[in-house]
A and B are shown apart, each in its own frame.
Chain A
Amino acid sequence: MIDLETAQPAPEPRLGSRNDIVRSHFSVRDLLSEATVALTARPARTLLTALGTILGVAALVATLGLAKTAGNQVVSRFNELEATRVLVEPQDRQQGRNNRQVSVIPFDAGDRLRRLNGVAAAGTKSEVGVDGLVRSVPVVDPLGQNEFQIPVLSVSPGIFDAVRATIETGRVFDDGHNERGDNVVVLGPGAARRLNITRVDNSPAIFIGDDSFAVIGILRDVEREPDMLNAIMVVDGYARERLSLFAPAEVHIEVEIGAADLIGTQAALALAPDSPDQLKVGLPSSPRGVRSGVQGDLNSLFLILGGVSLLVGAIGIANVTLVSVLERTGEIGLRRALGATRRHIAAQFLFESGALGALAGLIGTSVGILTVVAVSATKSWTPVLDSWLPFGAPILGAIIGLIAGTYPAWKASATEPISALRSGT
């Protein structure tokens, strides 16, 4: 403790050894209060400096939040309908007039599948070609159009449940119709409108080509397979005998929620135990996939925008901090004279820009969350947010502030107190 010059007890304690030196020190509390004073001295300027970062963070938070919210919404809307739908088709379906498809789907496909655990409903559907047009009256009226080209579908009785059809009036096919091959039809709402048939209690009849059919029911809506809306449906038993339908073209299955994968593995085997390879089982391309694809594109666009805006924000902070370093040259010199080391000066400016960034991050996060909530409110969505987002975003802001403040802080610490003190500010 005692050096050579003061080996004897020092007559004057202020004199002498280096151990007497009280090193300068910049406490964390002082750092905090100095930075607070600096940031609040000009609030408008502080806010404008932070604006770029605020917008960037807000854009990021809003984008991520809205993506999550909308994604959640899309999933809940489509999930039930999609997850319960299984379609079985012949493999490598060949289309063509002369080359009729070779299908191994049996006519009792619906019955076979209903025995599987997890199947709620199943039925077959095939397009059939008919000769001649469709008309609703036996007499040809030369003045009005009363013959139409309307697609004809051959279906099994189970199809209506499998595609979630609702009935406007009348009834749909039963197994009796199917077994007997009755001349009965069910009309989709579009087809009924064209044929001008609105009720079935008066036993209306239509003609397909030269064969007459009794209309026993009209559908109101079909949740899947919208082609049924504009079609005339005849029963499989009739099409098999009279329209030479060799085999059904496709099987529609409504499964219990969660059973789709299981049924997917079992359906082909149940329908064609000897050649399950010839059947293709799967979910049709889902609207959700398309939608989330679009969403993904939008997301990345907005994330890029948010990133660019953050970059601009960081440059803004760096720029203004640098200007303020130049403005505060006198203050820097004064602080050096009052005992600040270069390190203390750098720490102060770095902390100021870091705090500014954190503040911007905080405000930006709030703006972003409010945006998500507002958009959700107008769309009646449930706002969903990743829990790390409100905490991560201010930290991101602070990191941006620190990075932006690095060069100005270094510049400030390199300021010569000598010239700074003479600068007169």
Chain B
Amino acid sequence: MTASIADSGPPPPSNSTADIVVELDEVSREFPGNPPVRALDGASLAIQRGDYVAIIGPSGSGKSTLLHLLGLLDEPTHGVYRLDGIDTRDLTESDRAGLRSSRIGFVFQSFHLLGHRTTVENVMLAEVYRPGTRSTRRKRAEDALRQVGLGHRLDAYPTTLSGGERQRVAVARALVGEPSLLLADEPTGNLDSVTSAQILDLFDDLHHSGLTLAVITHDEDVSERAERKVRINDGTLTEVFR
């Protein structure tokens, strides 16, 4: 019963502590070695529903480790990560994959579109691992593409698209199924300043419509657009107040 509700409409505006999407509680991630590398050290972070958070830091600071933890592609060695209030410790791989599929939308620096598929087929790929979506998959993919302003390029192949268009396809793919969190990893890293601005405008629009965004970047321009800024340095998180 509750399972189907997970796919229901956008969440109400946040006004309570119960509406925390991401909650990191003293999370650490160590990589085995001699000595062991502690890429994340006791990080705590809470992202409210509707927040727009930029996570900034130089390379080697632990950004990717944080990204993978937030994206449930990796597990913390210590601490607790709650996504939508769900304690992600001790989940099976299938559960974690299910959470990734239904609650997190990924946007990558290099787009990761499949070359032999049309725009709409690429977006449809987002729901391949979601049960019971097959019959209405194309319609939702088309809706998502319209939402990012690509309603006219549904059947185009990625090779015929500009960089900005490709990244918008990738955003549309992340938006299908209304995730709790849109997780972007250097989303403008492969784009020029004009198309970067377009993507950031799109992020603003999504933010205003209530979506929760976490953008990992080293680009100051990108982080300036965000509501909140969190700096990561040597595995420690600090909120940047303006």
A residues bordering B, Cβ < 8 Å?
5-6, 11-27, 29-30, 34, 37, 41-42, 330-331, 333-344, 417-418, 421-422, 424-425
B residues bordering A, Cβ < 8 Å?
2-3, 5-8, 11-12, 16, 18-19, 64, 68, 71, 73-74, 84-87, 91, 93-95, 97-104, 106, 108-110, 112, 114, 116-117, 121, 125-126, 128-131, 134, 173, 180, 185
CA distance A342 to B93 in the complex (A): 8
Contact indicator B112/A24 (Cβ below 8 Å): no
CA distance A425 to B134 in the complex (A): 27
Q: Which residue of B lies closest to A341 (CB)?
A: B97
Q: A13-B8, A22-B101, A24-B101 are in contact. Are A338 and B18 (CB under 8 A)?
A: no
Whole-angstrom distance between the Cβ of B103 and the nearest chain A Cβ = 8
Please give, as numbers and ranges, the residues of chain B lying within 8 Å of A343 by CB-CB distance: 93
Contact indicator A12/B2 (Cβ below 8 Å): no
Contact indicator B100/A37 (Cβ below 8 Å): no
CA distance A340 to B3 in the complex (A): 18
Q: A22-B98, A421-B112 are in contact. Are A11 and B16 (CB under 8 A)?
A: yes
Q: Which residue of B lies closest to A11 (CB)?
A: B18
Contact indicator A17/B86 (Cβ below 8 Å): yes
Please give, as numbers and ranges, the residues of chain A lying within 8 Å of B2 by CB-CB distance: 13, 17, 19-20
Contact indicator B94/A22 (Cβ below 8 Å): no
Whole-angstrom distance between the Cβ of A135 and the nearest chain B Cβ = 92
Contact indicator B101/A29 (Cβ below 8 Å): no
Cβ contacts A to B, 29 pairs, < 8 Å: A12-B18, A15-B19, A17-B86, A18-B91, A19-B2, A20-B3, A22-B98, A22-B101, A22-B131, A23-B95, A23-B98, A23-B131, A24-B131, A30-B128, A34-B128, A37-B116, A37-B121, A41-B116, A330-B110, A334-B106, A334-B108, A338-B100, A338-B106, A338-B129, A339-B97, A339-B129, A339-B130, A340-B97, A418-B73
Whole-angstrom distance between the Cβ of A45 and the nearest chain B Cβ = 12
Please give, as numbers and ranges, the residues of chain A lying within 8 Å of B12 by CB-CB distance: 12
CA distance A21 to B104 in the complex (A): 12
Q: A37-B117, A424-B110 are in contact. Are A341 and B94 (CB under 8 A)?
A: yes
Contact indicator A339/B102 (Cβ below 8 Å): yes
Please give, as numbers and ranges, the residues of chain A lying within 8 Å of B112 by CB-CB distance: 330-331, 333-334, 421, 425
Please give, as numbers and ranges, the residues of chain B lying within 8 Å of A20 by CB-CB distance: 2-3, 5-6, 84, 86
Whole-angstrom distance between the Cβ of B33 and the nearest chain A Cβ = 16
Contact of B100 among A24, A41, A331 (CB under 8 A): A24
Contact of B101 among A14, A34, A339, A418 (CB under 8 A): A339
Please give, as numbers and ranges, the residues of chain A lying within 8 Å of B114 by CB-CB distance: 331, 334
Contact indicator B86/A13 (Cβ below 8 Å): no
Q: A34-B128, A338-B126, A341-B93 are in contact. Are A14 and B11 (CB under 8 A)?
A: yes
Whole-angstrom distance between the Cβ of B224 and the nearest chain A Cβ = 25
Please give, as numbers and ranges, the residues of chain B lying within 8 Å of A12 by CB-CB distance: 11-12, 18-19
Contact indicator B116/A336 (Cβ below 8 Å): no
Contact indicator A24/B97 (Cβ below 8 Å): yes
Q: Which residue of A lies closest to B121 (CB)?
A: A37
Q: A21-B98, A339-B98 are in contact. Are A422 and B73 (CB under 8 A)?
A: no
Contact of B64 among A11, A336, A342, A422 (CB under 8 A): A422
Contact indicator B97/A15 (Cβ below 8 Å): no
CA distance A62 to B100 in the complex (A): 51
Q: Which residue of A lies closest to B3 (CB)?
A: A22
CA distance A17 to B134 in the complex (A): 26
CA distance A418 to B185 in the complex (A): 11
Whole-angstrom distance between the Cβ of B12 and the nearest chain A Cβ = 7
Q: A14-B180, A15-B85, A37-B117 are in contact. Are A339 and B6 (CB under 8 A)?
A: no
Contact indicator B129/A421 (Cβ below 8 Å): no
15 further A-B contacts with Cβ under 8 Å, apart from A20-B86, A22-B131, A422-B64, are A14-B6, A15-B18, A15-B19, A16-B86, A17-B2, A21-B91, A24-B98, A42-B116, A334-B108, A336-B73, A339-B97, A339-B98, A339-B129, A340-B129, A418-B64
CA distance A337 to B130 in the complex (A): 12
Please give, as numbers and ranges, the residues of chain B lying within 8 Å of A22 by CB-CB distance: 3, 6-7, 98, 101-102, 130-131
CA distance A204 to B106 in the complex (A): 110
CA distance A421 to B112 in the complex (A): 8
Contact indicator A27/B71 (Cβ below 8 Å): no
